[in-house]
Amino acid sequence: MMGQELKSAILVDECLIELPDLDQVSQIEEQAYAFPWTPGNLRDSLAAGHLFPALKQGNMLIAYSILMPVLDEVHLLNLTVASHFQGQGWGTEMLRVSMRLAATALHGKSMLLEVRPSNTVGLALYEKHGFKSIGIRKQYYPAENGREDALILRRVLP
Ligand SMILES: CC(C)(COP(=O)(O)OP(=O)(O)OC[C@H]1O[C@@H](n2cnc3c(N)ncnc32)[C@H](O)[C@@H]1OP(=O)(O)O)[C@@H](O)C(=O)NCCC(=O)NCCS
């Protein structure tokens, strides 16, 4: 409840990440993940034409995602909220923005993503927003003790 009050008090803009923003994205990646995307991964993804929608307060990045269209399906490659802003509704908002852009700007009919089964917050967020498990990619992610499977989730876009 307090998170929602805080959220509505902050003025936030929707925008698209560009090359000069990638330093900030890298810093957030480092804080948010044990195995973050590297600056090179981010640059390659942007150069490949993937869409990086974001929520910003002034110049401060709150959340971003990375969308890769494959025919009429959009792959959600990344969804991250800066550590200080987690648990305040921004992940939910970023997922909504991502689904809207996937359907409109990218003409996607469905969205696909992978998530670690151990990421209970991420998994619950996706399931709450209509994503259903369609399979497992064995040993997909690096993990502290070797590798971890990925759950593959999918939903039809509105
Ligand atoms: C996963 C992530 C995107 C979720 O975004 P967020 O802004 O923290 O989540 P929200 O505040 O929108 O909350 C989403 C739901 O999770 C719940 N939640 C959030 N943080 C939680 C926590 N620490 N423990 C338990 N539940 C939590 C909320 O109550 C909410 O549930 P509700 O809609 O039923 O009320 C964000 O935490 C994050 O970036 N984590 C690190 C990177 C990551 O794991 N990305 C996803 C990879 S697939």
What CATH number should be reported for the domain holding residue 83?
3.40.630.30
pLDDT at 145: 87
Distance 88 CA to ligand 1 centre (A): 8
Closest CA to 85 of 94, 77, 76: 94
Q: Is the pLDDT of residue 138 over 60?
A: yes
Using a 6 Å cutoff on CB, does residue 90 contact ligand 1? yes
How sure is the predictor about 5, in pLDDT bands with cuts at 50, 70 and 90? low
Edge-to-edge, what's the strand order for the sheet holding 13-16? Answer: 13-16, 53-57, 60-70, 73-81, 110-115, 146-156, 132-143
Q: Which amino acid is at 17?
A: I
Look at ligand 1, atom 15, and give the residue with the nearest C-alpha.
125
pLDDT at 11: 86
The one-character DSSP state at 37 is P
Mean pLDDT of 103-124: 98
The pTM assigned to this predicted structure is 0.94
The two structure tokens encoding residue 55: 């929520």
33 flagged as catalytic: no
What would the pLDDT profile of 19-77 be if each residue is shown by its tens digit? 999 999 999 999 999 999 999 999 999 999 999 999 999 999 999 999 999 999 999 99
Q: Is the pLDDT of residue 82 over 60?
A: yes
d(CA 64, CA 2): 22
Look at ligand 1, atom 5, and give the residue with the nearest C-alpha.
91
| Candidate from 86, 94, 140 with most ligand 1 atoms within 8 A of CB, to mutate | 86
Q: Is the pLDDT of residue 155 over 60?
A: yes
Q: How many domains does the chain have?
A: 1
pLDDT at 1: 45
Say if CB 12 and CB 5 are below 8 A apart: no
Q: Is the pLDDT of residue 132 over 50?
A: yes
pLDDT at 153: 98
Mean pLDDT of 148-154: 97
Mean pLDDT of all residues belonging to the chain? 94
Using a 6 Å cutoff on CB, does residue 80 contact ligand 1? yes
pLDDT at 2: 46
Range of the domain at 76: 2-156
Backbone phi, psi, residue 96, to 5°: -60, -45
The two structure tokens encoding residue 149: 């499977």
Backbone phi, psi, residue 32, to 5°: -85, -25
Q: Is the pLDDT of residue 9 over 70?
A: no
Using a 6 Å cutoff on CB, does residue 79 contact ligand 1? yes
Q: Is the dihedral of CA 32, 143, 74, 3 positive or negative?
A: negative
Say if CB 99 and CB 51 are below 8 A apart: no
Q: Is the pLDDT of residue 15 over 80?
A: yes
For helices 120-128 and 90-103, give the axis angle rounded to 10 degrees. 50
The two structure tokens encoding residue 89: 């509704």
Look at ligand 1, atom 29, and give the residue with the nearest C-alpha.
87
pLDDT at 94: 98
